[in-house]
């Protein structure tokens, strides 16, 4: 039995395998079809933190594979966690009912802790500011589909790079590919963690850091946008210092390459002007469709299908 807990656990070949498998599932997703690969199998989605895309995406993926879903979108308030049940015991229980589990939790490391009690595979659906392995994979899949390659691209990552588990996951995966350059754009207090920057540089990647998005828009092949995440700040006052610091506008898009693409895990919280939505380079809604295909690939792999 294997879990999908950390982006760093995947090898280059495993990433390529999942990208290939997801490509095969795109037709099913776009055709809104249902396979019978996972017939009789049950996915449990346990979310201790809010979600729109990730939970519905995992559930849609399981239903399109032909399986079934049991779900709790508010575990902290409505499961026996509220009565004090441990993550280990919850895992023991839920893995009695389900064949695979997707779990989100606000505390980094808690999905791994949960997995120690599970007798079935567990997929990390986001743990605090730690990791979001399935999102990182669907982001790579989006870029591969839209740009035709994952090598030799300049990635401009902007926003709360300190707390965004999504950009952390992207960097971990991208380190397997050749010739990419990284430009990290954030306020000084929300910089990409030093260990990620140092690790990329030690592996030979060019990394630039700046607070000025406008000055680097023209360099991007991929703009990996992230919101400033209120839930990661110690106080509303601290969050307000950074809210609205980067807003993607048509004026900024005009400075970018004609074939640049914008990806973003969303939700949108003031950081993308809706006027950008109709720009053909904006791929943040298309990402949701790629995400279902990638999560079909992840679930199929975890279930040994
Ligand atoms: N991309 C993402 O994780 O979105 P949700 O928080 O809505 O799941």
What would the pLDDT profile of 86-119 be if each residue is shown by its tens digit?
Answer: 999 999 999 999 999 999 999 999 999 999 999 9
Q: Which atom of ligand 1 is nearest to the CA of 54?
A: 8
Domain ranges for the chain, please list them: 7-131+288-303, 133-287
| Protein residue with its CA nearest to atom 1 in ligand 1 | 265
Give the residue numbers marked as catalytic. 53-54, 83, 104, 132
The mean predicted confidence, pLDDT, of the chain is 95
Q: Which atom of ligand 1 is nearest to the CA of 291?
A: 1
158 close to 224: Cβ distance less than 8 angstroms: yes
CA of 202 to the centre of ligand 1 (A): 31
CA of 192 to the centre of ligand 1 (A): 20
Residue 293's pLDDT is 98
208 close to 139: Cβ distance less than 8 angstroms: no
CA of 266 to the centre of ligand 1 (A): 6
Q: To 10 degrees, the CA torsion angle through 223, 224, 230, 235?
A: -80
Q: Which fold has domain 7-131+288-303?
A: Rossmann fold (3.40.50)
Lowest mean pLDDT among 47-61, 227-241, 245-259, 267-281: 227-241
Residue 16's pLDDT is 98
Q: Which atom of ligand 1 is nearest to the CA of 265?
A: 1
| Protein residue with its CA nearest to atom 6 in ligand 1 | 51
Residue 228's pLDDT is 85
Q: Which atom of ligand 1 is nearest to the CA of 132?
A: 3
Furthest CA-CA distance within the chain: 55
Residues with CB under 6 Å of ligand 1 are: 51-54, 126, 135, 265-267
| Protein residue with its CA nearest to atom 3 in ligand 1 | 54
> Which of these, 98, 81, 6, lies nearest to 44 by C-alpha position?
98
pTM of the model: 0.94
pLDDT digits (tens, 9 = 90+) for 216-247: 999 999 999 998 877 777 778 887 887 778 99
3-state secondary structure of 83: helix
> Which of these, 165, 159, 153, lies nearest to 108 by C-alpha position?
165
- 7-131+288-303 shares its CATH topology with 133-287: yes
CA of 267 to the centre of ligand 1 (A): 7
| Protein residue with its CA nearest to atom 4 in ligand 1 | 53
Summarize the confidence of residues 175-180 as an average pLDDT.
Answer: 96
| Protein residue with its CA nearest to atom 5 in ligand 1 | 51
Residue 161's pLDDT is 94
Summarize the confidence of residues 42-71 as an average pLDDT.
Answer: 97
Residue 245's pLDDT is 85
CA of 51 to the centre of ligand 1 (A): 5
Answer yes or no: CATH 3.40.50.1370 is held by domain 133-287: yes
DSSP 263: E
| Proportion of the chain above pLDDT 70, given as a percent | 100
Summarize the confidence of residues 154-173 as an average pLDDT.
Answer: 95
Spatial distance between the Cα atoms of 248 and 257, rounded to a whole number of angstroms: 15
Is the peptide bond prior to 255 cis by the omega test (within 30 degrees of 0)? no
Q: How confident is the model at residue 132 (pLDDT cuts 50, 70, 90)?
A: very high
Residue 81's pLDDT is 94
């Amino acid at each position: 039995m294997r879990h999908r807990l950390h982006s760093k656990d995947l090898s280059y070949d495993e990433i390529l395998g999942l990208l290939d498998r997801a490509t095969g599932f795109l037709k099913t997703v776009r055709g809104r079809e249902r396979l019978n690969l996972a017939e009789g199998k049950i996915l449990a989605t346990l979310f201790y933190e809010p979600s729109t895309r990730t939970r519905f995406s995992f559930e849609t993926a399981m239903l399109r594979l032909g399986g079934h879903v049991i779900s709790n979108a508010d575990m902290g308030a409505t499961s026996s966690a509220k009565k004090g049940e441990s993550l280990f015991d919850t895992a023991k229980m839920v893995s009695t009912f389900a064949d695979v589990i997707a779990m989100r939790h606000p505390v980094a490391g808690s999905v791994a802790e949960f997995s120690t009690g599970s007798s079935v595979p567990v997929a990390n659906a986001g743990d605090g500011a730690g990791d979001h392995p399935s999102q990182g994979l669907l982001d790579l899949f989006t870029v591969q589909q839209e740009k035709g390659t994952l090598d030799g691209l300049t990635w401009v990552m902007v926003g709360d790079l300190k707390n965004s588990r999504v950009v952390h996951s992207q960097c971990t995966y991208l380190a397997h590919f050749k010739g990419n350059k990284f430009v990290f754009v954030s306020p000084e207090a929300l910089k990409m963690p030093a260990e990620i920057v140092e690790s990329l540089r030690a592996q030979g990647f060019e990394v630039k850091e700046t607070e000025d998005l406008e000055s680097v828009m023209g360099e991007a092949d991929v703009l990996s946008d992230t919101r400033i995440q209120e839930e990661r700040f110690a106080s509303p006052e601290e969050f307000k210092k950074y809210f609205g610091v980067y807003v993607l506008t048509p004026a900024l898009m005009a400075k970018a390459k004609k074939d640049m693409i914008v990806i973003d895990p969303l939700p949108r919280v003031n950081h993308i002007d809706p006027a950008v939505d109709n720009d053909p380079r904006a791929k943040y809604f298309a990402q949701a469709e790629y995400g279902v295909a990638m999560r079909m690939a992840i679930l199929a792999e975890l279930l040994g299908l």
